Structure 1
Amino acid sequence: MADTSSRAGSPATPDTDLIVIGGGPSGCSAARMAASVGMRSVLIEPESLCRNLYRIPALNNVLGGYTSGPELADSIATELKNTELCRLELGRRATELRADDDHTTVTLETGARLTAPYAIVATGVGPLQPRDTPWITAPFDLPLPPLWQADAYDAEGRTLLVLGGDRTIGTFLRAHPTTPTRLVVVYPESDDYKIEEIRDDPRVTLRPVEHVTLHLSEDAATADIVDRSGKRLTVTADAVYLSIGNAPTAPSGDIVRDTAGYCLPSAQHPRVIVAGDLRSARFQRIMTALGSGSEAALHAYYAARELLNGDAN
């Protein structure tokens, strides 16, 4: 558990009932749920609300009839901006979260501080690069684009080498169902459970690997592969994209992380509630993020009324 010792006295008047860090689906649903039970909140987001949803051209796993990320994002953003009990702090980044016996304090990059009895951390994850994974050898300063940034023009009639088997591949294929392309997906054992949804797509060639060494030229990509039987082979492609997953992006301070950087809800200070993709790599879905954010707000609501014996987790 995080250190629960008090660093300072309780603020005379907290700025709000609840601070929400992160403006993705989880953070937005937390603020909306909080408002529905009469709690004031301040939502802190360094960019725009649900910004990553605008990069998902096709959806098939959310309620409400939404078929694209931008459509869902516009709906969420419009609703939240019309939520009277939620104050939006857009263009602001939370740099530190501190938890004391009776309140939390969030410091912004401007140096300003906000206080509330509870804070929800829903900052989600950011894309990994080859240097972050032990199974890929590539130039250290090589920045590669994630697959979700590719469009039909990038893929049509071309062979794309995809590093990793993360679920963005399925999203890409659904978004471009008729685009003639070939994806050569090389992935480690840890991604085995992720590739079932793309296994039967005729445009995909799956290559389970132990290690990949990447070489790039101006007009081609080459990968020297060691497969799981120890066999060596070389794959060439027109371009290379990433689908190796993400890393948690929680602010510094009183947040407990596991060895991979994820923040298990049960390990946190009682006044810090973790929601959304930040909890685990296994539950990174829009629907689970929405539900997690709503549940986090209700935890704060009940804990504030001592209906959870003071434990918000």
Structure 2
Amino acid sequence: MGDTRYDTDLIITGGGPAGCAAARMAASVGMRSILVEPDRLCRNLYRIPALNNVLGGYTGGPELADAIVAELKSTELCRLELGRYVTELRADDDQVTVTLDTGVSLTAPYAVVATGVGPLQPGDATWITAPAGLTLSALWQADTDDARGRTLLVLGGDRPIGTFLRAHPTTDTRLLVAYPATDEYKTDEIRDDPRVTLLPVDHLTLRGGEGSQLSAEAVGQDGTHRTITADAAFLSLGNAPAAPPGDLTRGPDGYCPPTGQHPRVIVAGDLRSARFQRIMTALGSGSEAALHAYYAARDLPIKG
């Protein structure tokens, strides 16, 4: 393609599976792209030790991430801006302008926004009382030393707990999973694992402890009170959308649904909704977003 009025044909914000898929698909139809990512490509995918929902025979996140990164780095029509983040995204009738933290502005006819999500912290959950400013790591980030022979308190019943258990099939770790009523349906896949103790709670107050131990006071959904002790605490609360500032339409939950966005801004991957946060859906939506821009640039119908 190539239009000297613009810096590129497509600006992609976010270098996870969705953003990488968008860049690869764009190149396959002859579109130049600039992909902006503040960290490394597929950063979170490298932290997922076990996969069970992708094609191609990949059983671990690092293996799949290596394949995606290698393919993207060999894609000549994609220019990578790693270690940079977007401070503002603006869309008007003629173009999208993306400003980087360096102050440089990039222009293109269309932009794909695939910045994904970040983990919720205890302070974000109304059912948890925790010391001010407390931050914890997500459970799937726990390494073997964090897990072996220890009792871990897991805050929330989100599905990465199953990923952790599959990644450590023989570990003697004990997981105490405290979760609110809204997470009940998410615990189905771990309910029968003997390493898991489910703790449905109405409220949890997290405290410090003696030495390496911590404690929490739990009010059960049946009104009973109990003290919980563990060696460490990790998160499985879900995620919060990480959209860049600027011309994006956000829903009440902070996510950016594809419908209702400026015609030149296409949202892909986990940023779209909390309901479809899977690697396969991210790859597919990223590819579809690039094709959307390709057809729109030629005034071809998107549907039909």
TM-score by length of 2: 0.95
Which has the higher mean CA deviation after the structures are superposed, 222-231 or 101-110?
Answer: 222-231
One-letter amino acid of the counterpart of residue 174, structure 1: R
Q: Distance in 2 between matches of 1:48 and 1:157?
A: 32
Alignment of 1:52-201 (within 5 A): 52-201=44-193
Q: Which residue of 1 aligns with 2:221?
A: 228
From 241, 244, 250, give the equivalent of 1:248. Answer: 241
From 288, 296, 299, give the equivalent of 1:295. Answer: 288
For residues 30-65 of structure 1, the C-alpha deviation after alignment (integer angstroms, 9 at most, x for no partner) is 000111111111101111110111111111211111
Deviation at 1:12, TM superposition (A): 6.6
Q: Which residue of 2 aligns with 1:49?
A: 41
Q: Distance in 1 between matches of 2:57 and 2:154?
A: 30
Deviation at 1:143, TM superposition (A): 1.8
Tell me the secondary structure at the aligned position of residue 267 of structure 1: coil
Q: Structure 1 residues 189 and 308, CA, compared in 2 at 3 Å: closer, same or farther?
A: farther
TM-score by length of 1: 0.93
Q: Distance in 2 between matches of 1:198 and 1:262?
A: 27
Q: Distance in 1 between matches of 2:181 and 2:288?
A: 33
Tell me the secondary structure at the aligned position of residue 287 of structure 2: helix
One-letter amino acid of the counterpart of residue 256, structure 2: C
From 19, 28, 45, give the equivalent of 1:36. Answer: 28
For residues 52-81 of structure 1, the C-alpha deviation after alignment (integer angstroms, 9 at most, x for no partner) is 111111112111111111111110000000
Deviation at 1:152, TM superposition (A): 2.2
Q: Distance in 1 between matches of 2:172 and 2:237?
A: 23
Tell me the secondary structure at the aligned position of residue 16 of structure 1: coil
Q: Which residue of 2 aligns with 1:7?
A: none
Q: Which residue of 2 aligns with 1:4?
A: none
Q: Which residue of 2 aligns with 1:8?
A: none
Q: Distance in 1 between matches of 2:212 and 2:70?
A: 43
Q: Distance in 2 between matches of 1:190 and 1:102?
A: 44
Q: Distance in 1 between matches of 2:168 and 2:156?
A: 19
Tell me the secondary structure at the aligned position of residue 259 of structure 2: helix
Runs (4+) of structure 1 exceeding 2 A deviation are none
Question: Gaps (5+ residues) in structure 2?
Answer: none
One-letter amino acid of the counterpart of residue 132, structure 1: D
Whether 2:241 is the aligned partner of 1:278: answer no
Deviation at 1:258, TM superposition (A): 1.4
One-letter amino acid of the counterpart of residue 197, structure 1: E
Which has the higher mean CA deviation after the structures are superposed, 255-264 or 218-227?
Answer: 218-227
One-letter amino acid of the counterpart of residue 66, structure 1: Y
For residues 202-242 of structure 1, the C-alpha deviation after alignment (integer angstroms, 9 at most, x for no partner) is 11111121110011123212111112222222211111111
Deviation at 1:192, TM superposition (A): 2.3
| Percent identity between the two aligned chains | 73
One-letter amino acid of the counterpart of residue 226, structure 2: L
Number of residue pairs aligned between Structure 1 and Structure 2: 300
One-letter amino acid of the counterpart of residue 306, structure 1: D
Q: Distance in 2 between matches of 1:296 and 1:189?
A: 36
